Structure 1
Amino acid sequence: MHPETPSARTLRLSVPGWPGHLPGQHVDVRLTAPDGYTATRSYSIASASQGELVEIAVEQVPGGEVSPYLVQVAAVGDPLELRGPLGGWFVWRSQQDEPLQLIAGGSGVVPLISMVRTHDATGSSAPVRLLYSVREPASVYFRGELERRAATQTGLSVQYAFTRSAPPGWDGVPGRVNADRLAEWARPPDDGATTYVCGPTGFVEAVSDLLVRAGNDPRRIRTERFGPS
């Protein structure tokens, strides 16, 4: 377990007999209170597809029933009830050789880092471009890893869209992802890429609409929305 941002934490879960997963899938985590009350929430898997360690990254939601426990209370050795892997639409398979466009808003980067990690682990030759929209540098998940991978991982490029404040030396103006940013940073609509967009509902809907207006084939756009947990 380690912090990702001031309000988010990564948890590595040992799951004996884990069957493996596809990048983009998620798990359900269920907590049970002493009085028997249960609460279940879904979390995307951040880890690559091999092994019995399942990594999730959890953003604490004020007033949430599950995320405050996972971020603030859960300790090494505590048991968790897990169900999964789940989901079959918002997934990437290493056999796909077309270009890959990943667009994340905030914690929506979690399933996309699984795709990036699996891309590297399997030696995929598909070119990958990640556009990560985030409020400020302190809110970036997997920051050190993304910097390292952007410099060393074959076929991967990473670009940020800081919406409130940017780090010194960043080549851009803070603001939301718009048509101009997509035209500059995203893959061209005619190169056959499959695009994965993940984040809050408003972000996903806005970006998807911009992509279609720019000429991207809606059938090649896959979306995943995050909600309170």
Structure 2
Amino acid sequence: MADRTAVPAFTSPFAPPTRFAVPGRIAVSGEAATAWQTATLTGIRRETPRAATFRLAVPRWAGHLPGQHLMVRLTAADGYTAQRHYSIASAPDDSGHIELTLDHVPGGEVSGWFHTVARPGDNVEVRGPLSGFFAWPGDRPALLLGAGSGVVPLMSMVRHHRARGLAVPLRMLVSARSPEELIYARELGAETTPVFTRSAPAGVPVGRITAAHVVSLLGEESDDGWEAYVCGSNGFAEHASRLLVAAGRPVDRIRVERFG
């Protein structure tokens, strides 16, 4: 699971009515967090050579906040089970569907099944939404920093921002090894600045996210109203967090989720 930092509390206008409090963060439905339900795979969309989006119909889905995740459980014929936590990629809506974008992890039991075995009509079990820590309900300016598949929960925030026509500023800085490995490349818009670490289009510098990237996105608006959301590997999360602190972001305004 992801490491998390302490943050000030606030409540969400989208939270379900039956709730328990995540320390320092948004209240989450206790009933939804503990109940497994059946989800049916309805579509698969290729994002990059290693990543794909899987659309699931979940008729009893209680709704979620951008940035939340869920648990997926697979059960084999002999009763063996495997389960993993995955961020929700889709924006909250009332369609009864959610989307997960998964990297094909070498040797991964669950991601391997999704990428090599799963077909529309297959069923899995899901439990969630889980954790209000990393959730962004759209009530304050947000700077999003992601690397690789760390862009997934951030894309839920971007989609929510667009779907609701929110006026609060939202900007995203995303790192990928190459344009071919940039997840959601076809969907990214003016709110997103991509950075490429291994190969880039002609005229675009290659390298890591820098302090200059962060400062340019915050500009003169770097006041206490902005929150930063960071998602990626341990190394990326630490690097991005240091840049944010150097740019003047208060530690209690930086939310971090990391994997690996």
Deviations 1:68-117 (A, max 9, x none): 111121100000111111111100013x1x32101111101100111011
- In the alignment, which residue of structure 2 is the partner of 1:154? none
- In the alignment, which residue of structure 1 is the partner of 2:200? 166
| Runs of at least 5 residues in structure 1 that lack an aligned partner in the other structure | 151-156
Candidates 100, 120, 138, aligned match of 1:76: 120
Cα pair 1:189 1:215 within 8 Å, conserved: no
1:133 aligns with 2:137: no
- In the alignment, which residue of structure 1 is the partner of 2:212? 180
- Counterpart secondary structure, 1:125: coil
What one-letter code is carried by the residue in structure 1 that aligns with 2:142?
L
- In the alignment, which residue of structure 2 is the partner of 1:215? 248
Cα RMSD of the aligned pairs, angstroms, is: 1.5
- In the alignment, which residue of structure 1 is the partner of 2:91? 48
Displacement of 1:186:
4.5
What one-letter code is carried by the residue in structure 2 that aligns with 1:138?
E
Give the Cα separation in 2 of the matches to 1:135 and 1:19: 36
Displacement of 1:181:
3.0
- In the alignment, which residue of structure 1 is the partner of 2:51? 8
Q: 1:198 to 1:48 in 2, by over 3 A?
A: same
Displacement of 1:176:
1.0
Give the Cα separation in 2 of the matches to 1:168 and 1:207: 25
Candidates 182, 200, 206, aligned match of 2:233: 200
Displacement of 1:64:
1.2
Cα pair 1:129 1:187 within 8 Å, conserved: no
- Normalised by the length of structure 2, the TM-score is 0.79
Aligned length in residues: 215
Divergent runs of 4+, >6 A: none
- Counterpart secondary structure, 1:36: coil
Q: 1:186 to 1:73 in 2, by over 3 A?
A: farther
Alignment of 1:60-71 (within 5 A): 60-71=104-115
Displacement of 1:168:
3.2
What one-letter code is carried by the residue in structure 1 that aligns with 2:171?
R
Q: 1:190 to 1:181 in 2, by over 3 A?
A: closer
Deviations 1:148-195 (A, max 9, x none): x43xxxxxx2101100001235xx311111223323345557333111
